[in-house]
Amino acid sequence: MTSPFVRRRRLAAELRALREHRGMTAGRLSQLIHQSRMKVSRLENAHIRPDLAEIIKILDVLDVTGDKWNQIVRIACDAAEKGWWDAYGDAMGPRQRLYADIESGAKTIREYHPSGMPGILQTPEFTWAMIELAKAESQVPFVPERLVAARLERRRAVLRTDGPVYEAVIDELALRRYAVPPEVMRAQLRHLIATTEQEPRVSIRVLPLQPGPSGSLPPQSPFYLFTFPDPTDPPMAVVETVAADLVHTESAEVSRYVRRYEHVLKAALTEDESRTLLADAADPTGSP
């Protein structure tokens, strides 16, 4: 399917451009379609799922016809779609809902993790350990059981037969310094190795603690790069912060993160070398 989130952003940009091309303010448009100014603003900022009847009314007011009318209506239909994550609601956590939505229509997914573990590659035990740490810090905005179940659903969706190509670069620091119990971490590392051996579209590279010079400042936060099958859907960079996820589709901003990713990828170990390091980290004593 096409990501509804991606299409909502595309629809928002298209509607705003059409309105501005007509020299019409958002306030005037809201009057003509008998909706609030806030409703138009939220639609043009991709904050709500569109109502197809309202989109058609907007297109009529803006005198949009022909191929452009058909194009906008198709985008609106995609934007209004619901995915498996909608059945979870906020119980799976709003941040995880965002990633599930974007991943659903991705062609490629590339991630960099300086101190954590990729969400869709986590074992349930690792996820539960992280949940306990989050609960100790503050009230969590999700239902733990539903978050764990949804994370497994995300994994199945990404690893489906026609799913995206997935690549992750993990800093060695995330493998050597961790807060979960050692047995949980060892099982997690073995799980990463098994996944790369079983899934040909999955690649995991480790950025060693003492790499050669990368020619770039090291990224300070986890970030994610997405491309989509439809070339009219722009590539996307999502940057994870403590409080929120910042979504970028502007070409200059996305290019900055692409360059950062390419630099860390160049400095990372090969896939075979990474598997060897993961195995060593999973069994530092060399015991059978």
Write down the pLDDT at residue 211. 61
Q: Do domains 4-80 and 85-282 have the same CATH topology?
A: no
For 4-80, give the CATH class: mainly alpha
pTM of the model: 0.92
Looking at residue 179, what is its pLDDT?
86
Identity of the residue numbered 170? I
d(CA 21, CA 155): 42
Classify residue 51 by its DSSP letter: P
Could you give the CA distance from residue 219 to residue 243 in angstroms, rounded to a whole number?
Answer: 18
Q: In whole angstroms, give the CA distance from residue 202 to residue 110.
A: 10
Domain ranges of the chain: 4-80, 85-282
Give φ, ψ of 159 to 5 degrees: -90, 10
Question: How many residues does the structure list for the chain?
Answer: 288
Kindly give the confidence (pLDDT) of every residue in the chain, 288 residues in length, as a single tens digit, with 9 standing for 90 and above. 899 999 999 999 999 999 999 999 999 999 999 999 999 999 999 999 999 999 999 999 999 999 999 999 999 999 999 999 999 999 999 999 999 999 999 999 999 999 999 999 999 999 999 999 999 988 899 999 999 999 999 999 999 999 999 999 999 999 988 889 999 999 999 999 999 999 999 999 999 987 665 566 778 899 999 999 999 999 999 999 988 899 999 999 999 999 999 999 999 999 999 999 999 999 877 554
pLDDT at 216: 67
Residue 1: the pLDDT is 82
Give the tens place of pLDDT for each residue, 138-166: 889 999 999 999 999 999 999 999 999 99
pLDDT digit string, tens, across residues 42-79: 999 999 999 999 999 999 999 999 999 999 999 999 99
Query: Order of strands, edge to edge, in the sheet holding 108-113?
Result: 202-207, 165-171, 108-113, 223-227, 236-240, 245-248
* Domain 85-282, CATH: 3.30.870.10
The type of residue at 38 is: M
